[in-house]
Amino acid sequence: MKRFLDLADFSREQLLGLLELARRLEAQPEPRALAGKILGLLFFNPSLRTLASFQAAMARLGGTSFVINPGHGSWVLETRRGAVMDGAAAEHVREAIPALASYCDALGIRVFAEQRDLASDLAEVTFNSMAELTEKPLVNLESAVNHPCQALADWKTMDDLGVPPGGRFVLSWAWHPRALPLAVPAAALHMAALRGMQVTVLRPEGFALPEPVMERARRAALHSGGTLRETSVREEALEGADILYVKEWGATACYGDAAGDAQLRATLGSWCVRNDWFAHTAPGCRLMHCLPVRRNTAIADEVLDSARSAVQREAANRLTVQTAVLHELLKS
Amino acid sequence: MKRFLDLADFSREQLLGLLELARRLEAQPEPRALAGKILGLLFFNPSLRTLASFQAAMARLGGTSFVINPGHGSWVLETRRGAVMDGAAAEHVREAIPALASYCDALGIRVFAEQRDLASDLAEVTFNSMAELTEKPLVNLESAVNHPCQALADWKTMDDLGVPPGGRFVLSWAWHPRALPLAVPAAALHMAALRGMQVTVLRPEGFALPEPVMERARRAALHSGGTLRETSVREEALEGADILYVKEWGATACYGDAAGDAQLRATLGSWCVRNDWFAHTAPGCRLMHCLPVRRNTAIADEVLDSARSAVQREAANRLTVQTAVLHELLKS
Amino acid sequence: MKRFLDLADFSREQLLGLLELARRLEAQPEPRALAGKILGLLFFNPSLRTLASFQAAMARLGGTSFVINPGHGSWVLETRRGAVMDGAAAEHVREAIPALASYCDALGIRVFAEQRDLASDLAEVTFNSMAELTEKPLVNLESAVNHPCQALADWKTMDDLGVPPGGRFVLSWAWHPRALPLAVPAAALHMAALRGMQVTVLRPEGFALPEPVMERARRAALHSGGTLRETSVREEALEGADILYVKEWGATACYGDAAGDAQLRATLGSWCVRNDWFAHTAPGCRLMHCLPVRRNTAIADEVLDSARSAVQREAANRLTVQTAVLHELLKS
């Protein structure tokens, strides 16, 4: 394994192998496996779990890491090819990425969607423009429309909880003051489809996921024996659900148009997940969310503080699956 | 030992044991004692000594650490229970603390006083709201009214300097352009009382420490054989002093009222410690201050650059006592 | 070796020894050489290569490091002697440096030129005011007019590329929207002169390097058998060049005068290095630049993306030479 950029790059067997390795390393840690190895972490955007858990994962394996935040103690970086750099950016990623890569054994990059042009974000133009600049093992720490570490942690979380591979998985939109990127909904949807689940996307009118995101999940479902449908009717979606996976995202129709998006979401305050959302789910239905989550706007305290919530297990599994990913990428 | 939050949580024997361990680890380092162990450091406020010395302490014991600064490379965190999160905070500590705790073996948290409501700060509402969210070993890196690592380092500093347990300890207010929190004066006062010293609080009218802070020190003094008094008369306070411990803090009467506080301190520029403050102290009287200190407003160059100053020894002792604390918390 | 502050502090033999050690550690890493050792890194200014490569260098040798950025998670620091600190700075370096030094085995400091007073910057007043505060091994991570780690990496880069010691080295000014400091041009010039090269400084009228910078290089050249001249005529300078070392810097005549400097550089947009600059150089002439570089304002894509560019090798050599420097400073 040379890179961990997208679950779609791996066969189902490879992914099950990674999850098995994660469980093995939980049970039998290998505190010297990556002794002397260095992970470089490049964050263009804020982070809590990814920032802490990757440093912790390297340390658990005996390795070390360093963190670079462009614009915060480090230079603002330009990502556009051919740019005439007379603005704020002091350096181009074409110089920065190879330099950082030369100081480490593997590199992780987080760069959120620009949220200006949907096609560009769907094509991962920015992330890929950096990925092509190094041959070193590379990890996607969240890109425009992907977050494979979160997706793998979520997969393991459902395994841990005993959710059957063919269980009912509802990905539901939730309210947020701003249009958030599509990385987590796209990755979670794809993961649930890969896992073979009966997947429903529940979202208000105007917030359908882009067709390429749906199509990719549909193909994964077809291959794994899962199903995929979408609806804006909450009762219908949640009926019998085993997992309610909640996420906030922007309106596809208004992509890059903050005002239009704001108008669309203005009346959607009822999309804050409360206990009554679970009235007709399976009795043991669990709540999932990648975090960070805004309490009492996206999800109410009564749900997050209940036994239904699996968000802490998801967060903890970031460390366990990333330990496996790093072990695969860097173990000699 | 599961937590290091407040010197008051420990018996005098336990504290003397920690100081003994600190001296032992200075003489006989244990560079592999915490191999594989991880300390998470969560800083809501700036730091120099704490930030550097905790990372150094883990490294000296063979462990590692990671640092999270909410709002600087990481999400702004909400601390209030029940908040409807439609503002700047993207995440609540109720999610963030357990997540971080799952990535490390011990967690340190720094969160200064909000300086809006004195009762809330005295009750450590914010720090405690986070402390209750994890079972992991926890260290107070400075909270609203406490700074136990500084207090323990100061205790050791006086031991190093040969200041007798029953010596004269003067905690003096000094000028600062703004109202600083009560954490260090409260912690230093309590520590000196615990140590059995003859303690005097010297402060201008209006800057008496809150009664609960004084009462707590009074009780400690009663138990240890020390004494406690307060005065605004400099000559009286400093007579025969062995230690002049200087600190800036806000006016209790104007707590949370910056304008009122500013008015009170406007005429107090003479509260910048100069050589003549030592005219009637014990001849070997030493200056202490937790740092950071503003030169020539709180303490003059002539004092900080003199042989009286013990501030560097205090700073260095942060590392030594914290090494002992981490050893106690994390050594298997 | 106690400090690494300036190549001029070392004999040519010592520098050649460091380069030899760097090559040896590349071939035969010593992953436990600095086990238990700690490097403190104090950055007053942004960094990418220095920040990452020093952490990586310590890790490659089995040691660890911590990073402090005054004003970003740590206190704003005052550097002026005798300052009355009633402004933004909460702490003076006279307290901060000894405290940090007490937590580590070696300290690195980056502090760029203030660019107000040329004489003060040439005298390294700010850096030296900090260097004198600690006896610990100290590394200059870039000061007002020096950058010895970059210079040593550049020396090794030319060795790696087979550039003969007596080869033709052209240091050329390039356009930048602002007046950048003199640290890299001064250090690169001095290094090339020390190496015994035939050195030409190519710069527009008004951008001659300060006479003390030139004089220092002249003396080095005299001793090493090299030569030094300067010109504003591009064709003359580049004729037969083996190395074109590009750097942006401010006008000496307008030092500290941003408006004057801007006026001087307003018409100098043609000082963006393009392929045609290499028309009369030696055929194998290589481009060097310390990075960060602004593409298509200082150097065009066509040059940076060509086989002429040695900038990535320079960046990678930061790690290799610094590994040698730290080994010399800290190996018991």
Q: What is the mean pLDDT of residues B303-321?
A: 98
Output the DSSP codes for B58-122: HHHTT-EEEEE-BTTTB--EE-STT----SS--EEHHHHHHHHHHT-SEEEEE----SS-HHHHH
Q: At A276, is the pLDDT very low, low, confident or very high (cuts 50, 70, 90)?
A: very high
What pLDDT digit, counting tens, does each position of A86-141 carry?
Answer: 999 999 999 999 999 999 999 999 999 999 999 999 999 999 999 999 999 999 99
* Contact call for residues A72 and B71 (beta carbons, < 8 A): no
Could you give the angle at the alpha carbon of B270 between the alpha carbons of B268 and B275, nearest 5°?
150
Residue C151 within a domain = no
If you ran DSSP here, which 8-state letter would residue A44 be given? S
Task: List the single best residue of A95, A104, A109 to mutate versus C (max C Cβ within 10 A).
Answer: A95
Instruction: Looking at the structure, tell me whether residues C298 and C320 fall in a common domain.
Output: no
Q: Enter the pTM of the model.
A: 0.98
pLDDT at res. A332 = 83
Q: Distances in Å between the alpha carbon of A274 and those of A282, B40, C224? A: 16, 32, 78
Beta-carbon contacts of B47 under 8 Å, excluding residues fewer than 6 positions away, are B110, B141, B142, C73, C74
Q: What is the mean pLDDT of residues B256-274?
A: 95
Q: At A75, is the pLDDT very low, low, confident or very high (cuts 50, 70, 90)?
A: very high
The minimum CA-CA distance between C229 and chain A, rounded to whole Å, is 30
Residue A157 within a domain = no
C304 contacts chain A (CB < 8 A)? yes
Instruction: Looking at the structure, tell me whether residues A141 and A69 fall in a common domain.
Output: yes
Instruction: Looking at the structure, tell me whether residues C187 and C324 fall in a common domain.
Output: no
d(CA B131, CA B109): 9
Instruction: Looking at the structure, tell me whether residues B105 and B200 fall in a common domain.
Output: no
Instruction: Looking at the structure, tell me whether residues B7 and B142 fall in a common domain.
Output: yes
Residue A94 within a domain = yes
Q: At B332, is the pLDDT very low, low, confident or very high (cuts 50, 70, 90)?
A: confident
pLDDT at res. C62 = 97
Q: How many CA atoms lie within 13 A of A71 on its CB side?
A: 12
Burial class (CB in 10 A: 0-12, 13-18, 19+), C9: middle
What pLDDT digit, counting tens, does each position of A157-194 carry?
Answer: 999 999 999 999 999 999 999 999 999 999 999 999 99
What pLDDT digit, counting tens, does each position of B53-108 carry?
Answer: 999 999 999 999 999 999 999 999 999 999 999 999 999 999 999 999 999 999 99
Beta-carbon separation of C312 and A90 below 8 A: no
Beta-carbon separation of A38 and C59 below 8 A: yes
CATH of the domain at C133: 3.40.50.1370
Residue C219 within a domain = yes
Beta-carbon separation of C103 and B294 below 8 A: no
Residue B154 within a domain = no
Q: Distances in Å between the alpha carbon of B31 and those of B60, B61, B63? A: 6, 4, 9
How many domains are there within chain A?
Answer: 2
**Spans in chain C with pLDDT lower than 50:** none
The minimum CA-CA distance between B20 and chain C, rounded to whole Å, is 20
The minimum CA-CA distance between A3 and chain B, rounded to whole Å, is 23
Task: List the single best residue of C78, C85, C105 to mutate versus B (max B Cβ within 10 A).
Answer: C85
If you ran DSSP here, which 8-state letter would residue A278 be given? G
**For residue B292, cis peptide bond before it (omega within 30 degrees of 0):** yes
Instruction: Looking at the structure, tell me whether residues A282 and A325 fall in a common domain.
Output: no
Residue C157 within a domain = no
Instruction: Looking at the structure, tell me whether residues C177 and C302 fall in a common domain.
Output: yes
Q: Which chains touch B (3 or more CB pairs under 8 A)?
A: A, C
Give the structural domain span for C194.
Answer: 162-309
Taking every pair of Cα atoms in chain A, the longest distance, rounded to a whole number of angstroms, is: 59
Amino acid sitting at position C50? T
Q: Distances in Å between the alpha carbon of A66 and those of A108, A136, C41, C54, C249? A: 10, 16, 13, 10, 30
Instruction: Looking at the structure, tell me whether residues C29 and C114 fall in a common domain.
Output: yes
Beta-carbon separation of B295 and C75 below 8 A: no
Beta-carbon separation of C292 and A96 below 8 A: yes
ipTM associated with this complex:
0.97
d(CA A21, CA C205): 65
CA A156, A157, A160, A161 torsion: positive or negative?
A: negative
Beta-carbon separation of A85 and C296 below 8 A: yes
Q: What is the mean pLDDT of residues B135-151?
A: 98
Using a pLDDT cut of 70, give the percent of chain B over it: 100
Instruction: Looking at the structure, tell me whether residues C193 and C294 fall in a common domain.
Output: yes
B287 contacts chain C (CB < 8 A)? no
Instruction: Looking at the structure, tell me whether residues A294 and A183 fall in a common domain.
Output: yes
Instruction: Looking at the structure, tell me whether residues C28 and C80 fall in a common domain.
Output: yes
Instruction: Looking at the structure, tell me whether residues B112 and B175 fall in a common domain.
Output: no
What pLDDT digit, counting tens, does each position of A226-268 carry?
Answer: 999 999 999 999 999 999 999 999 999 999 999 999 999 999 9
* Contact call for residues C192 and C218 (beta carbons, < 8 A): no
d(CA A304, CA A312): 10
Kindly state the tokens that stand for C306.
């060509």
Residues of chain A contacting residue B72, judged by C-beta atoms under 8 Å apart: 72
For all residues of chain B together, what is the average pLDDT?
Answer: 97
pLDDT at res. B300 = 98
Residue B63 within a domain = yes
Q: What is the mean pLDDT of residues B289-306?
A: 98
Residue C33 within a domain = yes
Taking every pair of Cα atoms in chain C, the longest distance, rounded to a whole number of angstroms, is: 59
d(CA B49, CA B44): 15
Beta-carbon separation of B48 and C104 below 8 A: no
